[in-house]
């Protein structure tokens, strides 16, 4: 017959077993989250997102050069192209040229620049899990600019590596952390010495773009005010309309970015890099 002391020990043992199981489950879940998003921190999910549908994703990033060739680099307002900094060591990852983007979800200038950047990169690879967001509301300048975020997205290309770091949420909370090497790159190049304001916003600002340490951009290539009154869906669908002023600004910027990327990929893919749109962009550099 079991004694009262034996019953007590058995109960205590069972309690500890339950606690251990719970801790194991929690630690496994936390470990999964960390491995799934190793560069995120802070207020994950505080920016409201809406995953882009496959149809709109094709409009935004598909290889349809008819509109690109029609627009070339002609736009209602001048479009700023990345600047060349010669003599720097290459920025590569896994044997491919690396394109580094540093931005933030709250930033209206980042909001504007993500459109042509996604369009240009779509000519060299494939995006998945892009999400629609808006930049921070008023009193932020150019409040609630419709855009996408690269946070949680993936990009696959046989030509280039794309590294996107969205550093803060829509409410200015920490989101993704720069590596030490990325901090060094930003500290070195995102300064007036190399990048005086080449678009709306001051030098030393975000978005910051580095194409293999050869081409750089700080600030947006066109004003976020152009996107005012539009929705993300209307902008995406409009990219098939070469007569749209919004489309012309985005596509002209994308053509400049594409020309720079082509110089990193030995002019591949040839259907993109030998297109009339890219030749027009190269002719204006």
Digit-coded pLDDT (tens) for 136-192? 999 999 999 999 999 999 999 999 999 999 999 999 999 999 999 999 999 999 988
CB 74 within 8 A of CB 222: no
pTM: 0.83
The sign of the dihedral angle between the CA atoms of 12, 16, 21, 25 is positive
What is the arithmetic mean of pLDDT over 263-269? 98
Dist. CA 8–CA 232, nearest whole Å:
63
Mean pLDDT of the region 208-229? 96
What integer pLDDT is reported at residue 26 of this predicted model? 32
154-156/146-149 β-pairing: unpaired
**DSSP state, residue 40:** B
Burial bucket for residue 195 (CB in 10 Å: 0-12, 13-18, 19+) = buried
All structural domains of the chain with their residue ranges: 1-34, 50-283
Q: What percent of the chain has pLDDT over 70?
A: 80
Question: Do 52 and 60 touch, CB atoms closer than 8 A?
Answer: yes
Pairing of strands 96-103, 208-211: antiparallel
pLDDT band at 24 (very low <50, low <70, confident <90, very high): very low
Q: What pLDDT sits at residue 199? A: 52
Quote the radius of gyration of the chain (alpha carbons, Å).
Answer: 23
Residue 196 has pLDDT above 80, yes or no: no
Cα separation, 134 vs 250, in Å, equals 17
Separation CA 153–CA 117 (nearest Å): 14
Going by C-alpha positions, the residue among 134, 138, 161 that lies closest to residue 148 is: 134
3-state DSSP assignment of residue 271: helix
State the DSSP string of 143-199: TT-EEEE-TT-EEE-SS-EEEEEE-B-TTS-B-BPPPHHHHHHHHHHSSTTT----S
Taking Cα atoms as reference points, which of 88, 92, 95, 99 lies closest to residue 125?
99
23 membership: H or E segment, kind and range: helix 4-36
The reported pLDDT for the residue numbered 46 is 52
Greater model confidence, 210 or 2: 210
Task: Tell me the two tokens of residue 138.
Answer: 């008023």
Measured CA to CA, the distance from residue 77 to residue 196 in angstroms comes to 19
C-alpha pair distances (Å), 154 with each of 95, 110, 130, 131, 151: 18, 18, 8, 11, 9
| 10 confidence band (pLDDT: 50, 70, 90) | very low
221 neighbors 253 (Cβ within 8 angstroms): yes
Comparison of pLDDT for 32 and 281, the residue scoring more: 281
Measured CA to CA, the distance from residue 69 to residue 88 in angstroms comes to 32
pLDDT in tens, 69-96: 999 999 999 999 999 999 999 999 999 9
- pLDDT for 193: 84
- Supply 71's token pair: 């627009």
- Percent pLDDT > 90 in the chain is 75
Q: What pLDDT shows up at residue 43?
A: 45
Mean pLDDT, to the nearest integer, of 114-136?
97
What is the pLDDT averaged over residues 18-22?
Answer: 34
Whether 205 shows a pLDDT value over 60: the answer reads yes
Q: Where is average pLDDT lowest: 19-28, 44-53, 149-158, 216-225?
A: 19-28
Give the model's confidence band at 203: pLDDT under 50 very low, under 70 low, under 90 confident, else very high.
Answer: low
The residues, ordered by sequence, that sit 6+ positions from 28 with a Cβ below 8 Å of its Cβ are none
**Tokens describing residue 208:** 């910051």
Nearest by Cα to 173 from 26, 279, 46, 280: 46
Residue 201 pLDDT = 53
For the chain, the average pLDDT equals 84
């Amino acid at each position: 017959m079991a004694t009262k002391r034996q019953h007590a020990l058995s109960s205590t043992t069972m309690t500890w077993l339950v606690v251990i199981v719970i801790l194991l489950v929690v630690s496994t879940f936390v470990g999964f989250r960390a491995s799934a998003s190793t560069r995120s921190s802070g207020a994950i999910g505080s920016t409201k997102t809406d995953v882009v549908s496959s149809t709109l994703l094709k409009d935004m990033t598909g290889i349809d050069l008819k509109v690109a060739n029609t627009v070339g680099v002609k736009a209602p307002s001048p479009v700023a192209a990345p600047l060349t900094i010669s003599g720097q060591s290459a920025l590569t990852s896994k044997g491919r040229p690396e394109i580094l983007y540093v931005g933030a979800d709250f930033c209206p200038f980042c909001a504007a620049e993500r459109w042509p950047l996604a369009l240009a990169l779509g000519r060299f690879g494939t995006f998945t899990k892009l999400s629609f967001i808006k930049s921070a509301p008023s009193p932020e300048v150019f409040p609630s600019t419709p855009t996408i975020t690269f946070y949680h997205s993936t990009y696959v290309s046989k030509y280039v590596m794309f590294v996107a770091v969205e550093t803060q949420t829509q409410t200015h909370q920490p989101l993704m952390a720069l590596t030490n090497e990325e901090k060094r790159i930003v500290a070195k190049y995102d300064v007036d010495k190399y990048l005086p304001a080449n678009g709306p916003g001051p030098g030393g600002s975000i978005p910051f773009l580095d194409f293999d340490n050869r081409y750089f951009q700080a600030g947006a290539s066109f004003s976020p005010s152009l996107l005012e009154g539009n929705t993300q869906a209307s902008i995406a669908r409009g990219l098939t309309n070469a007569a749209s002023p919004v489309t012309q600004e985005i596509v002209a910027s994308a053509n400049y970015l594409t020309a720079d990327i082509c110089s990193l990929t030995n002019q591949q893919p040839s259907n993109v890099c030998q297109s009339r749109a890219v030749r027009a962009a190269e002719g204006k550099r």
